[in-house]
Amino acid sequence: MIHSLFLINSSGDIFLEKHWKSVVSRSVCDYFFEAQERATEAENVPPVIPTPHHYLLSVYRHKIFFVAVIQTEVPPLFVIEFLHRVVDTFQDYFGVCSEPVIKDNVVVVYEVLEEMLDNGFPLATESNILKELIKPPTILRTVVNTITGSTNVGDQLPTGQLSVVPWRRTGVKYTNNEAYFDVIEEIDAIIDKSGSTVTAEIQGVVDACVKLTGMPDLTLSFMNPRLLDDVSFHPCVRFKRWESERILSFIPPDGNFRLLSYHVSAQNLVAIPVYVKHNISFRDSSSLGRFEITVGPKQTMGKTIEGVIVISQMPKGVLNMSLTPSQGTHTFDPVTKMLSWDVGKINPQKLPSLKGTMSLQAGASKPDENPTINLQFKIQQLAISGLKVNRLDMYGEKYKPFKGIKYMTKAGKFQVRT
């Protein structure tokens, strides 16, 4: 299935490669580099690139391209999902997934990749199983390995691999038993000039951190499960129970894992939490233009919008901008023509605004189109789809665990056209 994996940084350098079957020459990546040149942004590189003898499937995360090389026909999403799992595993092992960190821990990276795929087919992809097979690096372990010449490979097979619950190790013990669930939703939207919604959808996940003794059996129910559309579950979830009762019943893995991801695409269910008032005008005869934007909350159920950043790619004809923000700080790069305004929190009583003028090239014609505005924001303790957890119950163990639920909404690709 997967023959080789190449890790490529944003400069186009291959800094790590791993082969499972036969060695595939690095020259196969030339097709990928050609596609990268044609794409305006890293995110726009096609995820599947056919070549005369191979297919290249890639994901772009943390400023690194993970490129898998396959020779036979396979479901593309299967490979892409595996690549995302590789990134998540690196993040879990090393705290961050970046080029310097991968280079510093190159031995552990190769050991983990060797366990994740067997002859090109996925084998162990659960983080807690991998951590029993390959111990995560620590300063002490690194020093000991350097002195003794030993490796991070575990002495025994993971206990969970031999049971009917391969994602959970046996004999788990904690003094504090706790289960935390984070409902995180990303809203992708395009808003037109008049403020109407062109398209809007929500990508949501429920991330869990479960530290419970023994072999607990959990059930999680929602107030409004019918909202959930296009749902993808962790293998621990009993699908039959979800289909019949819309209740999540599962024996959880130990530690952090993604319980489910979902998609809400019905326009009437997607509330837009912010609005942008804009007045951006260029005059034909003048070398000055007017720029004015105001950001405000809308349908936030009384919650505060924070971490607001406004980014706009200005037309090439704009030489400079003289702007005054009512709050936050702004920067304009005259070379890349990128305007960035770090707003921070939005106070509904005093809406933040950015006003001023633009200096245009003398004699140049008026730009063909106005710039688009991209927004980043987050809202704590709110799931914008309206999803709410009803209750979490535990069976099979006598103790009472501590339970916590947290909600968060953030902007994905949120664009306002002017």
d(Cα 247, Cα 245) in Å, to the nearest integer? 5
Alpha helices, H only, 95-217: 99-104, 106-116, 127-133, 139-148
Same fold, 178-270+382-416 and 274-380: yes
Q: Write out pLDDT tens, residues 17-70.
A: 999 988 999 999 999 999 999 987 888 899 999 999 999 999 999 999 999 999
Q: Write out pLDDT tens, residues 98-125.
A: 999 999 999 899 999 999 999 999 988 8
DSSP line for 220-278: EEES-GGG-EEEEE-TTB-HHHHHHH-EEEE-PPSEEEEEEEEEE--GGG----EEEEE
Annotation: CATH topology of 274-380: Immunoglobulin-like (2.60.40)
Q: Domain locations in the chain?
A: 2-148, 178-270+382-416, 274-380
Both tokens assigned to 172: 């788990």
Q: Write out pLDDT tens, residues 303-342.
A: 999 999 999 999 888 889 999 999 999 999 999 899 999 9
CB atoms inside a 10 Å sphere around CB 70 = 19
User: pTM of the full predicted structure?
Assistant: 0.85
* CATH of segment(s) 2-148: 3.30.450.60
Q: What pLDDT does 162 receive?
A: 57
d(Cα 331, Cα 152) in Å, to the nearest integer? 47
Both tokens assigned to 358: 């633009």
- Asked if residues 202 and 228 have their Cβ atoms less than 8 Å apart, the reply is no
* CATH of segment(s) 178-270+382-416: 2.60.40.1170
d(Cα 215, Cα 396) in Å, to the nearest integer? 7
d(Cα 189, Cα 202) in Å, to the nearest integer? 9
CB atoms inside a 10 Å sphere around CB 249 = 19
Closest Cα to residue 160, out of 258, 232, 255, 242?
Answer: 255
